[in-house]
Structure 1
Amino acid sequence: MSTFFSMTYGLGFATLSATVMHVLLFNGSDLWKQSKRAFGGNRKIDIHTRLMKKYKSVPTWWFYIILVINIPAIIFACEYYNESLQLPWWGVLLACAIAFFFTLPIGIISATTNQQPGLNIITEYIIGYMYPERPVANMCFKVVGTVVSVLVYLGTAWWMMDAIPNLCSQDNGPWKCPMDRVFFDASVIWGLVGPRRIFGNLGEYGGVNWFFLGGAVAPLVVWVFHKAFPRKEWIGLIHMPVLLGATSMMPPASAVNYTSWIIVGFLSGYVLFRYRTEWWKRYNYVLSGGLDAGTAFMTLLIFFALGYWDVGLTWWGSNSSNPEGCLLASCPTAKGIIVDGCPAH
């Protein structure tokens, strides 16, 4: 693996342990109080709960029916098509158990920061150790699809494969499908080769496992400083799961994709803590939603106005062969390999 790829996995390990530790340290007491109130029948009704009572709730038995139907259906599919899917029945139950365990901590992170740490790395790690050399089973273990998404994905794939020759080919201009390449690489790393021969006692990347410890210690350091300096309110706002998990899209995104995010993030943070303006406190969430909606809208607009008609804009940011502006990025680093235009090692 490249240094970039291995660091991405390491930060993914750190994000998971940081998520659990952050929730225990900063939200543990609130969770304990709310749990005692809920099970003791003395649940506190806050303003949000009071407002939501105006809407009719979805009956709980709906969710029970979905659960009772879906799990046996998934087990049947995995057992009946075992030669293709490779995932045994106990793998389905294990996936459900992992999702159940992480629902609360990830739910809290998502509710308070609008960021959702992924479970793909830890699920790949666990099933890769327990059921090695089966890449399809590894992918089935971590991927959850619905009927609607499957139909949309399948229809989109058929349309694009007919409209674009050599789709996802490495030499096909901008149509390289970076996310699919990362997905394939992950299936080889975690499923075919297996974590034991990469991150375990048979591999060369065992040091990456220390990121689990680093991720657990990071929120603890923030919590200690927060308790030691209670007047420094900004210390308590340092959110290690978000800081570590912000790199979850690297790869397929490269470093240049993060420059605009860093500029907007640090500029908005500076304005918030430097001036604490009422406008910013009131509209920062709206601004965040506007940026997301604007990105989605411009994606569709650019595609249907330019990309669909094979109209391209040539500038340094659209150079698909060298998107980061680094001419040496594609040069080999191994000793003894000589390529024209690249430095010799």
Structure 2
Amino acid sequence: MAAHDLGRTASAGSSSDAKNSSKEEISDVPQLDNVEATLKRDYVDHRLNDPNMETEKIDQVEATLERGDYKAEVQLEEELEEDSPYPEVRAAVSNVDDHTMPVMTFRTWVLGMLFTIVIPGLNQLLSYRFPTLTISSFVTQLLCYPMGVFMAKVLPEKVIKTPFGSFTLNPGPFNVKEHTVITVMSNVTYQRAYSSQIAAVQRVTYGYDWGYGWILMITLSSQLMGFSFAGVFRRWLVWPAAMIWPGNLGNTALMTALHRQVDVGENHMSRYKFFMLSCLGAFCWYWFPGYIFTMLSTGNWFCLIAPDNVVLNQLLGTQQGLGLIPLTFDWTQVTYVSNPLYTPWWAEANVLGGFVVAYCIIGPILYYNNVWNTAYLPFLASGTYDRFGKKYKVAKVTTPDHLHFDPVGYNNYSEEYFTISYSMAFALSFAAITAVIVHVVLFHGKQIVQQLRSSYDDEKDVHARLMQRYPEVPKYWYAILFLITFGLGVGGIQGWDTGLPVWAFIIAMILGFFFMLPVGVVLAISNQEVGLNILSEFIIGYMKPGSATGMMLFKTFCYMIVYQGLSFTGDMKFGHYMKIPPKDMFVAQVSAIVVSSFVVLGVQEWVFSNIKNICTPEAESNFTCANVIVFGTASQIWGLIGPAVVFSPGKMYGKLLWMFLAGALAPVIVWLIARKWPRSFIRLINVPVILTGTGLIPPATGINFTSWALIGFVFQYLVRRRRTGWWTRYNYIFGSALDTGTALAGVVIFFTVVFPQGKNQAFTQGNWWGNTAQYETADGLGTPYKQLAAGESFYPAPKDFRPAPVH
């Protein structure tokens, strides 16, 4: 029911006699005080801490409570229990459940394991190639549907009896719960295992290999430890209705379209038909920006007006510029940050505000005034540079075996310099770490404490109520999983000369556990995640510099406990929405991770054994391992050299450490203002989202944020308010269709025309202007504002360098 409809209902019978007469009419309703407490808790108390709750609905509930209209109060409470109070969830998630549907069937295991093996294996293989491609879980979700339907038609229905019980290969029509579990098994595994890069870097950068067994232990430990923590936090991140997890709504909408193929109204197209037509359109269109006419993707049209004008290219460019005019026709560019049709508009507005202030105002002021010598470097690029404006040559500041830091070489060569975008990224990341803690304590602390004291039975949300039918996963399951993963982690760290002591490993676990709840709360309401990768590099670099492998291990565990743990938690919420028994979800998720870990590491072993010149410019089929090279460089910069030579007080970037304090103070200011004026827009300001929303810059550029925010404004603000019916029926279906069609087109393009042709691309290697002009501009070349002559540096001589500390 829309907010204005609720208003009309609540105002019925609100005359001066309404209070007494209504109370008499419903005198048989038990625990009326509990009804009022529930409304106050689920609506009124959410004014400050829940930006997804509609202000109009809160106002209506407040008015009803103030009038004492008991009949209207009961009716509102009943409506709250009938469906989610959030229109996003109502539009994408069914509020009914068929508990008789079979879940862990033969079809579920066959298709689940098929995609658990194939998709992660392909993604791991493609990750070494440039350009790379990631096959998302949307592809799995779409492809497994006809396969499941086909199996339901051809498999025998005969019941097979075994000593362990009876089962059938075909329990009936392929259902939505089977489909959900298969999708979840793919969703938790489709991205390559982060830890696999450690073994790759050891081979490529440092020239040694500890074998398959070692990296398997590390991978299983780092991939599953976060899941054991997810079990602890599910009462805060899964059960409450306020934790809507916007990123799941596309999956749930697609499930509804595929399994409930009914017309949504007499004069409206069915969701299934709308999805198929939109998906087909996205598939056909992506051939143009993705292969035939790539200028449609990069979109730096205005740079062609003056291709050598550096300032114009830096402001309007889309490859190493701000992309202030969002003219791209590539859905992958628009969704690089996240899908704008899923993310709430208030969150998109916060991210856009952070981008404008940090990168469109502060960044250019610092850059064009040459603060930190940034004007000699590209405006927007990752990595570090030397005093000659060139990429930093780490080999010059490490010993010949590249295993130790060489302070003499450092002083003779150059300090490390960051581009202005990279410097801003560090500043925002430092501030986001403290901001997310303070924000969650101030805005959500009361609810966190209340949730700690409550039980699953206290949840009034319809989805939680429906899920009460299914037993929860016993806590000891998560405890056993933690002990196993902890043992594997200690074994991998102690059994080899990793340079990481157990106490540092425990600190990584504690940090991951500590940040999982605050980061999860922000992610669950905004679709924006605070990453711990920079923080983890920073901490281990100070705690124990000089060990590249130790740094990589610490970073992997600290970062992946939160990232993978929240990935599991998000899938728990997906299962919660689709009414999957929690025990089945646990078994499916753990099984998928274990199998996929063997697969991705096996693929890595095959790649390094069979592809000639792997991870070099001469590699066959462009298997140049860009991600591995970047990961290895980071291990040297933050592991061997360490952050002390860059961020310590007195060093060039030492002042950035003040951002930790700034991040802690900013949410306090917003909270105080919001408490003073709770009905103002201030309550929608979310400091962690502002600070972390632009965390993908670099390598993301301005076009990824301006186009994303523009599409988000159109659909999540204008369409939602002016075409509410269309938005409710089709918004999330449209988003999932564009994701799916584009992903399928990317797969087909890669395997039919890109991969077979290797380096001799018909359209991308100088064939015509539409695929080359964008790279012949100052934007495409990354030309800096200030130019250096050959051999010139922006520091006159090495003697002017401050001495580097020796560890």
Q: Do these two structures clear the TM 0.5 threshold for a shared fold by scoring above it? A: yes
Residue 55 in structure 1 maps to residue 470 in structure 2: yes
Task: Map 1:115-264 onto structure 2 (within 5 A).
Answer: 115-144=528-557, 147-157=594-604, 162=610, 167=615, 169=617, 177-201=625-649, 203-232=651-680, 234-264=681-711
Deviates more, 1:107-116 or 1:322-331: 322-331
The residue type equivalent to 1:110 in the other structure is L
Task: Find 2:486's aligned residue among 50, 67, 71.
Answer: 71
Give the secondary structure class of the aligned counterpart of 1:231.
coil
Task: Find 1:8's aligned residue among 425, 428, 431.
Answer: 425
Residue aligning to 2:756? 309
8 Å CA contact 1:139, 1:187 repeated in 2: yes
Give the secondary structure class of the aligned counterpart of 1:326.
helix
Q: 2:696, 2:428 → 1: CA distance? A: 11
- Change in 2 beyond 3 A, CA 1:104/1:133: same
Task: Find 1:110's aligned residue among 523, 531, 534.
Answer: 523
Aligned residues: 334
What's the CA shift for 1:261? Answer: 2.3
Q: RMSD value over aligned CA atoms?
A: 3.6
The residue type equivalent to 1:199 in the other structure is F
8 Å CA contact 1:182, 1:252 repeated in 2: no
Task: Find 2:744's aligned residue among 297, 320, 332.
Answer: 297
What's the CA shift for 1:33? Answer: 2.0
- Change in 2 beyond 3 A, CA 1:171/1:71: closer
Q: 1:175, 1:194 → 2: CA distance? A: 29
Q: 1:53, 1:317 → 2: CA distance? A: 57
What's the CA shift for 1:309? Answer: 2.2
Deviates more, 1:214-223 or 1:7-16: 214-223
What's the CA shift for 1:78? Answer: 0.5
Residue 20 in structure 1 maps to residue 468 in structure 2: no
Q: 1:95, 1:111 → 2: CA distance? A: 23
- Change in 2 beyond 3 A, CA 1:316/1:79: farther
Q: 1:56, 1:330 → 2: CA distance? A: 60
Task: Map 1:334-345 onto structure 2 (within 5 A).
Answer: 335-337=788-790
Residue 100 in structure 1 maps to residue 513 in structure 2: yes
Task: State the Cα deviation string for residues 235-274 of structure 1 (Å, max 9, x = none).
Answer: 3223332232222222333444444323323433542676
What's the CA shift for 1:163? Answer: 5.5
Q: 1:172, 1:246 → 2: CA distance? A: 37
Q: 1:121, 1:19 → 2: CA distance? A: 15
Task: State the Cα deviation string for residues 80-102 of structure 1 (Å, max 9, x = none).
Answer: 112xx221111211111111111
Q: 1:24, 1:324 → 2: CA distance? A: 48
Q: 1:19, 1:316 → 2: CA distance? A: 46
The residue type equivalent to 1:114 in the other structure is N
Give the secondary structure class of the aligned counterpart of 2:536.
helix
Residue aligning to 1:34? 451
Deviates more, 1:240-249 or 1:219-228: 219-228
The residue type equivalent to 1:76 in the other structure is G
- Change in 2 beyond 3 A, CA 1:328/1:252: closer
What's the CA shift for 1:325? Answer: 5.8
Q: 1:183, 1:71 → 2: CA distance? A: 24
Residue 86 in structure 1 maps to residue 499 in structure 2: yes
Q: 2:451, 2:692 → 1: CA distance? A: 27
Task: State the Cα deviation string for residues 251-305 of structure 1 (Å, max 9, x = none).
Answer: 3334444443233234335426764734436655555545544453343232123
What's the CA shift for 1:318? Answer: 5.9
The residue type equivalent to 1:95 in the other structure is A
Kindly name which structure, 1 or 2, has the bigger radius of gyration based on alpha carbons: 2
8 Å CA contact 2:615, 2:623 repeated in 1: yes
What's the CA shift for 1:21? Answer: 2.0
Q: 2:595, 2:700 → 1: CA distance? A: 26
Q: 2:687, 2:625 → 1: CA distance? A: 31
What's the CA shift for 1:45? Answer: 4.7
Residue aligning to 1:329? 782
8 Å CA contact 2:457, 2:468 repeated in 1: no
Residue aligning to 2:134? none
Task: State the Cα deviation string for residues 214-238 of structure 1 (Å, max 9, x = none).
Answer: 3233333433343333333x43223
Task: State the Cα deviation string for residues 76-123 of structure 1 (Å, max 9, x = none).
Answer: 2111112xx221111211111111111111121122122322111222
The residue type equivalent to 1:185 in the other structure is T
8 Å CA contact 1:189, 1:198 repeated in 2: no
What's the CA shift for 1:75? Answer: 0.8
Q: 1:59, 1:152 → 2: CA distance? A: 29
What's the CA shift for 1:174? Answer: 7.5
Q: 1:220, 1:283 → 2: CA distance? A: 39
Give the secondary structure class of the aligned counterpart of 2:648.
coil
Structure 1 residues without counterparts, runs of 5 or longer: 340-345
Q: 2:738, 2:717 → 1: CA distance? A: 18
Q: 2:511, 2:666 → 1: CA distance? A: 23
Q: 1:282, 1:121 → 2: CA distance? A: 40
Give the secondary structure class of the aligned counterpart of 1:101.
helix
The residue type equivalent to 2:630 in the other structure is V
Q: 2:728, 2:518 → 1: CA distance? A: 26
TM-score using structure 1 length: 0.80
What's the CA shift for 1:206? Answer: 0.8
Residue aligning to 1:343? none
The residue type equivalent to 2:708 in the other structure is W
8 Å CA contact 1:109, 1:115 repeated in 2: yes
